[in-house]
Amino acid sequence: MGQTSQPAFRLVLDQIDLSSLNFRSAKLGGASFRSSRFYGRGADDRWGTFDDAIADLSGAELKQADLTGAILSRVRLDRANLTNATLNKADLSQVRSIAGNFSNASLVDANLQQAVLERGSFTGATLGNANFSRVNLQAGMMSQAQAIATNFTRADLSQSDWREADLSRSNFTEANLDSADLSAANLQNANFTNANLQNANLTGTDLSGVNFSGANLDGADFQGAIFVPAPKVRSNQFIQADPQYEATQRFKGVDFTRVRNLSREQIEYVCTQGGIHPRCAAP
């Protein structure tokens, strides 16, 4: 007698007020919470007071969950597993997610302002146009993340790992990237104005069009970093001429004195762009 396979059960709680509920360590993989609210006003009917209704999702299993447009502000997500979850346009402002796992999740246009994300994993995540301003992402794992045009203004990103991430056009103004690993990352047209990049690893990064105005680069490793795309070599061109750099003020006042592993070509480019280095000719 043949057996009829039953469709897998999927929890659907879309557009529901779930604030104040306890989901600690709950198994919610694949569930749908589209536009649901996990944070609400308490008995005093005011936002941001002691009796706010805040759900607890600490340690919850949320693999492949759909949280598109969900309100998760101030929610506890410590050690929660959101691998492959969808959080596009979700509000995660001031969320607390110590050691949370957002690997391969999608957070396009999400709001994470002032979130505490220490030791969080966003490996392979899609973060385009998301707002990470003022977040605490110390020792975060961000390798291979797609963070195009993402806002990291004043974020604490010290000791974080961004290897092979795409950070083109992202804003790191006044961010702390002390000892961060950005090796082989795409930083085209990224903005590091007044950022702290002390002892950062920038080996093999693409820095085309990057803005380092006022940035602290002391101890940063620039080995193999690309300041300008290599010119195309014609098939009938046997001898490649030395590159001729147009003099601009792109690095005006940026101090490369204590930067590590700059090549002769890199130093020449820094000097023609108004940067500061002991080997630049006196004006």
* Residue pLDDT, tens place only, 228-260: 865 554 555 454 445 555 656 789 999 999 999
Split at pLDDT 50, 70, 90, the class of 8 is low
Least confidently predicted of 37-51, 65-79, 127-141, 244-258: 37-51
Q: Is the pTM of this model over 0.75?
A: yes
171 alpha carbon, distance to own chain's centre: 10
The whole-number pLDDT of residue 230 equals: 58
* Residue 103 lies inside a defined structural domain of this protein: no
CATH label of the domain that carries residue 129: 2.160.20.80
Q: Is the separation of the CB atoms in 227 and 248 below 8 Å?
A: no
Q: Does a structural domain hold residue 15?
A: no
Mean pLDDT of 88-92: 99
| Banded pLDDT at 281 (limits 50, 70, 90) | confident
Reported as a pLDDT band with limits 50, 70 and 90, residue 31 is: very high
pLDDT of residue 184: 98
169 confidence band (pLDDT: 50, 70, 90): very high
Range of the domain at 196: 117-283
* In a domain? residue 62: no
Mean pLDDT of 126-151: 98
**Could you tell me if residue 161 is inside a domain?**
yes
Chain centroid to Cα 99, Å, comes to 15
Does residue 204 form part of some domain? yes
Decide if 233 is inside a domain: yes
Assess whether pLDDT exceeds 80 at residue 29: yes
Q: Please count the structural domains in the chain.
A: 1
User: Averaging pLDDT over each range in 5-9, 112-116, 234-238, which range is the top one?
Assistant: 112-116
Q: What is the mean pLDDT of the chain?
A: 91
- Specify the pLDDT at position 3: 56
Mean pLDDT across the stretch 267-278?
Answer: 94
pLDDT at position 10: 87
Q: 11 in a domain, yes or no?
A: no
How much is the average pLDDT of 8-13?
86
- For residue 108, is it within any domain? no
